Amino acid sequence: MLSNGTESLKNLVIYEVFVRNHGEKGTFAEVEADLERIRSMGVDVVWLMPIHPIGRVARKGALGSPYSIVDYGAVNPEYGTEADFKAVIERAHSLGLRVMIDVVYNHTAHDSVLLAEHPEWYHEDEAGRAVTTVPEWSDVIDLQYPNLELERYLIESLLRWSRMGVDGFRCDVASLVPVEFWIRARTEVARERPNTLWLAESVHASFVGARREAGLRAHSDGELYAAFDLEYDYDIWAAWQAAVIGRIPVRRYLELLRLQQSLYPENAVKMRCVENHDQRRIMSFAPTRDAALSWTAFQAFNTGAFLIYAGQEAAAENTPSLFDRDPIQWGSYELQGFLTKLSRMKKETVISNGTFYVVSAEPVIVAVRESHHDCLLGVFNVTGSSGVFETGLRDGDYEELLSGRQVRVAGGEMELPSSASIIRVHPQAGPRSRRGWFSTDLLDFQLPPNRSGNLP
C-alpha cells in the first residue's frame, strides 16, 4: 500500500531523534532548534521516538523506556508541553520537513491509564493479571487483540495527532498487532491526512517463528505490506551484521539481499540503515572506520529509504541508553558532510527510476544503479582490500560523488577506494554488458554433504 508514490519512498531520507538524549536538557525546544541543521543534511522526515509520558511501575533505569507508555494522548512533561511539540511540527513544516512519531500499540506501561479504565483490554495470565508475552520486556504489559473498542480508541489517538500536523507513524513491533487493524487505521487516517507515511518495525524472522510456535501472533514482512509503505530490513539484519564483522562472507549477505528483492511485492520498499536505537552504532562494531563508512554508503546506495540515527553524523560509538539520560556527544559533527552527500545522492533520479544490481562481492562490493539516461557505479571496500580492480568501464576520468573529485580508469582498472566511491557513468560507458548479480546464480546454493554423504 504505497499511497505516497513508490518513487518518493525510494529517495526518502529519515532522521531518528530520541528527544531525551538529543540535547543537554532533553527537550522539544532543543529539537526544534536543530531542525535547520538536520534539514541541511538532505533529510525529508524527522522521526521522533515516543513522545508520551513514561510508566513508573516496573520501570527500567532511572527514567524508563519511552516504549513504556502511560497515555497515548499526552506528551512527556520532561520534554516540554504540547505547545512545545506543536512548535516542532510547525518549524519542521516551514523547513519542508515531515514529522513522524512512534506508535506503540502492542503494549503499554503497567500504570497506563488504559489499565485503570479498561483492564479487559489486556493479555492476562492464568491469575487474571495483565502481562507481557515477551518476558524480557518486563516494564510493559500487552494489549489483547482483536477488540473493536480498543481499536477504536487507538485510531482516535492516531487521528488526534494527525489533526495536530503529524505526517507519519513509525509503528513499534508492528508484526505483533493484527494487520487488519493497521489497514483499518490507515484507511481512517487517510481521510484526514491522505499522504500519511506508515513505517512498520517488522521483526527478525526468528522472532516471527518463535512467536508462531508459541501460539502467538506474528505477521511476516510480506503480510505487513498490505498496510505499510516502508518496513525494516530485520529479516536479513543478522546476516548483515555477521558480514560486517567477518563471521560470514559478504557474498552470503548479498545472496539474501537478492532473495529479499524477490520475496515481496514489486513495489515494496525497505528502510535501510546501519544503526538505530535498538542496534549498536556501526562505529562500535565495524572492524575499521573505513569499513563503517563503506557499509554506510552501501546501505544508502541500496534499494529502499535510508535512515540516519541522530549522533551518526558525530561518528558516535555509544548507543544511547533507553532508560537513563545519556546525551549524544556531538563534537565536531565530523561525518555530517559525508552523510549529506549520501542524502543528496539518494535524490538522484536514477535511484528512484533505475534498476539496482550487484556486479561483484569481492574483493569489494560493486553495485550499479542504472537507467536509460544515467548510471551510478558504487564501489564499497567493506573488507579493507587494497590494489586495483577491473571496472568494466572505458578508460577516462569519471565524476566521484562522495569526494567531488575525478577518478581515473586506465586499462579498464581503477584504484580501490579506502572506503567507498560512487561514480557517475554514462550508460554507454558500461557496465551494461555485465548485467546481473554474479557469474552464477547464488540462489541455487546447496549445502555440501557431510562425511556420511548425507546433508547435515
At 223, is the secondary structure helix, strand, or coil? helix
Does residue 142 share a domain with residue 38?
Answer: yes
Other C-beta atoms lying within 10 Å of the C-beta of residue 432: 13
- 224 in any annotated domain: yes
Total domains in the chain come to: 2
Does residue 377 share a domain with residue 304?
Answer: no
Q: How do residues 311-352 score in pLDDT, each as one tens digit?
A: 999 999 999 999 999 999 999 999 999 999 999 999 999 998
Question: Looking at residues 368-379, what average pLDDT do you find?
Answer: 92
How far is Cα 408 from Cα 428, in angstroms, rounded to an integer? 17
Q: How do residues 282-322 score in pLDDT, each as one tens digit?
A: 999 999 999 999 999 999 999 999 999 999 999 999 999 99
pLDDT given for residue 8 in this prediction: 86
Q: How do residues 234-252 score in pLDDT, each as one tens digit?
A: 999 999 999 999 999 999 9
Does residue 152 share a domain with residue 43?
Answer: yes
Residue pair 386/416 in contact (Cβ under 8 Å)? The answer is yes
- 233 in any annotated domain: yes
Radius of gyration of the chain (CA): 23
How far is Cα 335 from Cα 392, in angstroms, rounded to an integer? 31
Last-in-domain residue among 299, 323, 347: 347
Does residue 253 share a domain with residue 370?
Answer: no
Question: Looking at residues 113-127, what average pLDDT do you find?
Answer: 97
Average pLDDT of the chain, as a whole number:
92
Does residue 144 share a domain with residue 216?
Answer: yes
Does residue 288 share a domain with residue 219?
Answer: yes
**Which residues are paired to 38 by β-bridges?**
none
How far is Cα 196 from Cα 98, in angstroms, rounded to an integer? 10
- 92 in any annotated domain: yes
Residue 178 belongs to a domain with what CATH number? 3.20.20.80
Does residue 308 share a domain with residue 328?
Answer: yes
Residue 385 carries which side chain, given as an amino acid letter?
A: S
Cis peptide preceding 427, ω within 30 of 0: no
- 1 in any annotated domain: no
Question: Looking at residues 129-148, what average pLDDT do you find?
Answer: 98
- 442 in any annotated domain: no
pLDDT tier at 21 (50, 70, 90 boundaries)?
very high
pLDDT tier at 230 (50, 70, 90 boundaries)?
very high
Does residue 235 share a domain with residue 146?
Answer: yes
- 14 in any annotated domain: yes
Does 255 have pLDDT greater than 60?
A: yes
Give the range among 3-12, 96-105, 128-137, 425-434 with minimum mean pLDDT.
425-434
Between 266 and 430, name the one with better pLDDT: 266
pLDDT given for residue 5 in this prediction: 54
- 211 in any annotated domain: yes
How far is Cα 450 from Cα 370, in angstroms, rounded to an integer? 42
pLDDT given for residue 6 in this prediction: 57
Last-in-domain residue among 301, 327, 347: 347
Does residue 240 share a domain with residue 194?
Answer: yes
How far is Cα 415 from Cα 400, in angstroms, rounded to an integer? 13
- 448 in any annotated domain: no
Does 454 have pLDDT greater than 80?
A: no
Question: What is the residue-wise DSSP string for 385-423?
Answer: --SEEE--PPSEEEEETTT-SEEEEBTTEEEPPSSEEEE
Q: How do residues 172-192 score in pLDDT, each as one tens digit?
A: 999 999 999 999 999 999 999
Nearest to 162 by CA among 113, 197, 200, 112: 197
Does residue 366 share a domain with residue 267?
Answer: no
Does residue 363 share a domain with residue 243?
Answer: no
pTM summary value? 0.94
CA distances from 11 to 186, 195, 347 (A): 22, 16, 5
Does residue 287 share a domain with residue 152?
Answer: yes
365 lies in which domain range?
A: 356-434
pLDDT given for residue 11 in this prediction: 95
Residue 387 belongs to a domain with what CATH number? 2.60.40.1180
Residue 414 carries which side chain, given as an amino acid letter?
A: M
How far is Cα 57 from Cα 435, in angstroms, rounded to an integer? 58
